[in-house]
Amino acid sequence: MESNILHLDLDTFFVSCERRMDSKLLKRPVLVGGTGNRGVVSACSYETRKFGVRSGMAMKLAKQLCPEAYVIRGNASTYTKFSQEVTDIIKEQVPLFEKASVDEFYADLSGMDKFFGCYKYATELRHRIMKETGLPISFGLSSNKITSKVATNEAKPNNQMKIEFGLEKSFLAPLSVHKIPSIGKKTFQSLKNMGVFKVKTIQDMPEEMMISAFGKNGQVIWRRANGMDRPPLIQYHERKSISTERTFWNTTDMVKLRTTLTAMAENLGFALRNGDKLTSCISIKIRYADFNTYTKQVKIPYTSADHILIPKVLELFEQLYQRRLLLRLVGVRMSDLVSGNYQINLFDDTEEMLNLYGAMDHIRRRFGEKTVMRASSMGAKSIGRFYNAFNGEPPMVLAHRTQ
């Protein structure tokens, strides 16, 4: 059976949300992100892009390039709410879909041609989303996720495109190689150094040559350039979660409990980022010495950032632990996970903060999770043992204020 994979992408999502709330922003240059001098652009309207503005750029530079732009700090809770509105519509209309991020979705429409016509059905779904949410959205439809994603980007802004079965290769051929997903800045530069600028050049190259030049990633790029890569949809489940628990020999040591919870939140935050996941629900569990167990949870804007997760975990614990009796167990759970990256936090952070997370996670992946940690997650005795183990040279410890 011929596959029909739909890719939906909400255009300049954060900007569109702001415009929905304030119509005066329509057709005007808008920047969403950190508003301080060291802030970062999280999203920018199409009107700003002709000045060279792009997402991830320092806000200070963006304002210099486009001084007439309206600058908005952004509100993660608002964007999470609008994302859920779109998710609910797709969930109602499509039996199998993947929520790739807060503003990006895939849906498997295979087999629906017999009853509705996939392109017609996708068009009606897009129009319903726009009508009910007031948000612009684009889509691409083809036989696989990669080609559909590229088609969506070609259709933008606020448009749609279908690539007929068998025409994937010819559609991709004239495009720049940087439009293939998984080709980042370094790979793009390496391809340019080889004289490879268009996708057709990769299509004409032997697969073995790409593997020789780029290893396993070279094979992925070659297959994507030829419209042959068919990664499966990861079905969206709202209740997916990660969690951790710690059992004690009954304690009321608040320093130990807070240190343990901080370490738990830090480890789960790293697990989220390492798996390209975001959470929107945090739960705390405590068990008293008499085995009575209590839980408390809170909904939050999608995030994977320690400096947001840790204070929320500690705040929940303070609200839940009221009896001041001996505790036998504490646990932390993060649920309602979706695939996604750190983008939604950019209006809260500086470039330094983003670079810090990147550096910390790189060290953890290479040398182990406990090679870099916050002082607040270690405790005085642990810091002393680390200090002695390093012959008087202190270990790499990140002192971090969570309040």
Structural domains in the chain, sorted by start? 1-165 (3.30.70.270), 167-236 (1.10.150.20), 241-340+372-398 (3.30.1490.100)
Among 10-19, 232-241, 372-381, 384-393, top mean pLDDT goes to 10-19
Report how far Cα 93 is from the mean position of its chain's Cα atoms.
24
Q: pLDDT grade, residue 282 (50/70/90)?
A: very high
Quote the pLDDT of residue 95. 82
Burial category of 65 from C-beta neighbours within 10 Å (exposed 0-12, middle 13-18, buried 19 and up): middle
As a whole number of angstroms, the distance between CA 93 and CA 81 comes to: 19
Report how far Cα 374 is from the mean position of its chain's Cα atoms.
23
Task: Count CB atoms within 10 A of the CB of residue 4.
Answer: 24
Quote the pLDDT of residue 368. 64
Task: Count CB atoms within 10 A of the CB of residue 129.
Answer: 22
Quote the pLDDT of residue 236. 73
Quote the pLDDT of residue 261. 94
What is the tens place of the pLDDT at every residue in 107-161? 999 877 666 789 999 999 999 999 999 999 999 999 999 999 999 999 999 999 9
Quote the pLDDT of residue 209. 94
For all residues of the chain together, what is the average pLDDT?
A: 85
Choosing from 104, 154, 238, 315, which is the catalytic residue? 104
Quote the pLDDT of residue 394. 43
As a whole number of angstroms, the distance between CA 243 and CA 264 comes to: 9
Statement: residue 380 has pLDDT above 60: no
Q: Decide if 141 contacts 161 (C-beta within 8 A).
A: yes
Whether 318 is catalytic is no
Quote the pLDDT of residue 402. 34
Report how far Cα 370 is from the mean position of its chain's Cα atoms.
24
* Closest listed residue to residue 153, CA positions, set 188, 180, 124: 180
Backbone angles phi, psi at 366, to 5 degrees: -85, -40
As a whole number of angstroms, the distance between CA 377 and CA 398 comes to: 10
* Closest listed residue to residue 106, CA positions, set 234, 272, 275, 207: 234
**3-class DSSP state for residue 22?**
coil
| Secondary structure E strands in 227-269 | 241-251
Quote the pLDDT of residue 383. 43
For residues 78-104, give the mean pLDDT: 90
Q: Decide if 313 contacts 246 (C-beta within 8 A).
A: no
Among 119-123, 360-364, 385-389, top mean pLDDT goes to 119-123
